[in-house]
Structure 1
């Protein structure tokens, strides 16, 4: 185990050795430290903020600062201004960090990495859960992340945004796709059943379902039905093969149809007809091209979900659940809510920010030896007396 690491891995296990911090921070912060050490250290206070509204997700940053302080023997005070899971307005200081200028200067780069992305992803997860409050979500961010540090940060963020939404009555995220980040959702294991590769290996959707059930008979059966482009045919075949699982709610079909084609049996006209039957208001108003794609386009549209629900109910499988995945961003969730799409669970990693520039946090020193001072234009960061 490397210096500063602890079991579990992830952001909290980042190496905190001084030489590693120096190698990962911006060079001008290391030079600042050398200058301050020569001409006299001072006590400073940093304010950290983002330029857009977010959900406060500071835990990984605070844990890392505590680890650095313990490793170096430095005294670092971190005051979080907004409790985890609360809304933060654009430009409002999320935290104030006070300590030795020489000690804190090299930490700025890494602190910003740990705070900004998590806060934006948490806000996205919150919006998704609130758009569809009766739907359960599963975090599937890992495949879209640049390594485990990012994966850990995004899973944490999803749990924070989800917890905020649950306080307002939403179901939110019930777990993640792997064991390493399951603890953020209060579970010990990752969720999920089969990938497309298993269906291809089995040679048919039913064969894959049979194989899975043979190995995991006590686990609910979730069948991925889009591999052969016969979502409806294959879903019904599996349901008829496992009538007891279907009747007791232990069977679900997962729709992951890619954007290059429609669900089996659908086309533009029939997709409009499906929504005309179930949610006419959603297609009778002006819609952007993106909204129309989510509602009646290719892939996992609202019409596709409604069509699958129709077919299952007509065949007597009302207790079979529908799980949807494939690009479920905040915007797509809002469109699904508008169409009242009968989806039970959504698997998504699209709470990861679309524009990484939105995640850029900024830090400014706002006090030197307890004397307020900040660059012109950032006076809004100065601590109010009520904050002290």
Structure 2
């Protein structure tokens, strides 16, 4: 069922990518607050005040670029922002790349051409949209590439404020992820949040992982994969076997989430030649061998806890028998900065020192 869901979402995104941008009306902005400058750096509002006061309305070409190699994301939302929140948006011409395209540093992502007084108040907001969404899309794509085709789950919702979940999930979809932990994250994919048993449920059943998993199996929709969280007792091998023996073929997988400060019981006699803490190669191999030895070859292994692109790549290089990676906070790591510069005024080159008009033939006119 999980693999079928992933396939559906992937097909949805590929079809969406090839045919259309997200419509302007699919976005909702606090238009009046934005036009009043509530979310805008004050000096941009001063610029509008001066230009309008002086009745000076040159037509400018604003050029937007990233300072790093990134996966571009947020262009559809920026276009909608301009269409809904600029003054006289019908006079503004936009050229843009599409979400999901990769660019090198300094490569132009978008140009906005019009009366600067009509859209100066939007610069803070559209640069922020592009920065956040591109950061997530870029981090996601790095992990997805490192995973060599194995499913990657987007589980960082708890690491940031809830209002960002819908746009974060869209950025993750652009980056290549098709499984999400919350309904809000999954909105753009037309899906629902995935996930089964937290440590809190096991604790509620007095630390009995088997009892918690049985309760899940009894009360949760059968279409939801039965995946047991097996590190509660710091004994992933024996807990995995206990759950597998109880659920049999109904158990789809086990999730290993051992703390980075802990050493699982199955490794206590193996310590010496490797770093034994957390979800390490040796722990995953121990669980895989134990499950296979008792005929539970169908049970998949999901790993979580501190994974990023480098760690996923290392696991893949070592051939660790992981089936799915659940990744969280690392999707928010780092900073991606976008810059906007006026590079033409009334059709003539005019840019600050160190900047110049940098046309990008990959951009398309937004109609």
- Residue matched to 1:255: 256
Matched, 1:108 2:123: yes
> Are the counterparts in 2 of residues 372 and 382 from structure 1 also a CA contact under 8 Å?
no
- Residue matched to 1:352: 331
**Equivalent of residue 319 in structure 2, options 333, 337, 340:** 340
**Equivalent of residue 141 in structure 2, options 123, 126, 147:** 126
> Are the counterparts in 2 of residues 255 and 300 from structure 1 also a CA contact under 8 Å?
yes
CA displacement 1:23-70 (0-9 Å, x = unmatched): 11011111000111122112111111111100111222223222224x
> Are the counterparts in 1 of residues 304 and 325 from structure 2 also a CA contact under 8 Å?
yes
Q: Per the alignment, do residues 385 and 372 of structure 1 end up closer, same or farther by CA in structure 2, a change over 3 Å counting?
A: farther
Tell me, what secondary structure is at the counterpart of 2:53? helix
Gaps of 5+ in 2: 1-25
- Residue matched to 1:321: 300
- Residue matched to 2:216: 212
Matched, 1:45 2:70: no
TM-score, L = length of structure 1: 0.80
Matched, 1:198 2:177: no
**Equivalent of residue 338 in structure 2, options 361, 375, 382:** 361
> Are the counterparts in 1 of residues 148 and 316 from structure 2 also a CA contact under 8 Å?
no
> Are the counterparts in 2 of residues 52 and 90 from structure 1 also a CA contact under 8 Å?
yes
CA-atom RMSD, angstroms? 2.3
Q: Distance in 1 between matches of 2:186 and 2:323?
A: 20
Q: How is 1:366-377 mapped onto 2 (pairs within 5 angstroms)? A: 366-377=343-354
Tell me, what secondary structure is at the counterpart of 1:359? coil
Q: Distance in 2 between matches of 1:384 and 1:110?
A: 23
Q: Per the alignment, do residues 301 and 75 of structure 1 end up closer, same or farther by CA in structure 2, a change over 3 Å counting?
A: farther
- Residue matched to 1:155: 169
Q: Distance in 1 between matches of 2:68 and 2:269?
A: 38
**Equivalent of residue 244 in structure 1, options 249, 253, 268:** 249
CA displacement 1:139-198 (0-9 Å, x = unmatched): 11211113412x333222211111xxxxxxxxxx222111122132x3431111111100
CA displacement 1:253-295 (0-9 Å, x = unmatched): 01111111022311494485xxxxxxxxxxxxxxxxxxx7xxx
Q: Distance in 2 between matches of 1:160 and 1:75?
A: 30
Q: Per the alignment, do residues 384 and 255 of structure 1 end up closer, same or farther by CA in structure 2, a change over 3 Å counting?
A: closer
Gaps of 5+ in 1: 1-10, 163-172, 273-291
Tell me, what secondary structure is at the counterpart of 1:64? helix
Q: CA deviation at 1:211?
A: 0.7
- Residue matched to 1:67: 84
Q: Distance in 2 between matches of 1:21 and 1:15?
A: 10
Tell me, what secondary structure is at the counterpart of 1:265? helix
- Residue matched to 2:266: 265
Q: Per the alignment, do residues 227 and 271 of structure 1 end up closer, same or farther by CA in structure 2, a change over 3 Å counting?
A: farther
**Equivalent of residue 235 in structure 2, options 214, 230, 233:** 230
Q: Distance in 1 between matches of 2:220 and 2:214?
A: 10
Q: Distance in 1 between matches of 2:285 and 2:83?
A: 50
- Residue matched to 1:289: none
Higher relative contact order (CA 8 A, sep 6+): 2
> Are the counterparts in 1 of residues 34 and 121 from structure 2 also a CA contact under 8 Å?
no
Matched, 1:311 2:293: no
Q: CA deviation at 1:352?
A: 2.5
Q: Figure out how many residues of one structure are paired with residues of the other and give that number.
A: 335
> Are the counterparts in 2 of residues 125 and 351 from structure 1 also a CA contact under 8 Å?
no
> Are the counterparts in 1 of residues 33 and 39 from structure 2 also a CA contact under 8 Å?
no
Q: CA deviation at 1:106?
A: 1.0
Q: How is 1:266-305 mapped onto 2 (pairs within 5 angstroms)? A: 266-267=267-268, 269-270=270-271, 272=273, 296-305=275-284
Q: CA deviation at 1:351?
A: 4.7
> Are the counterparts in 1 of residues 35 and 85 from structure 2 also a CA contact under 8 Å?
no
Q: Distance in 1 between matches of 2:202 and 2:294?
A: 24
Q: Distance in 2 between matches of 1:323 and 1:385?
A: 43
> Are the counterparts in 1 of residues 107 and 360 from structure 2 also a CA contact under 8 Å?
no
TM-score, L = length of structure 2: 0.85
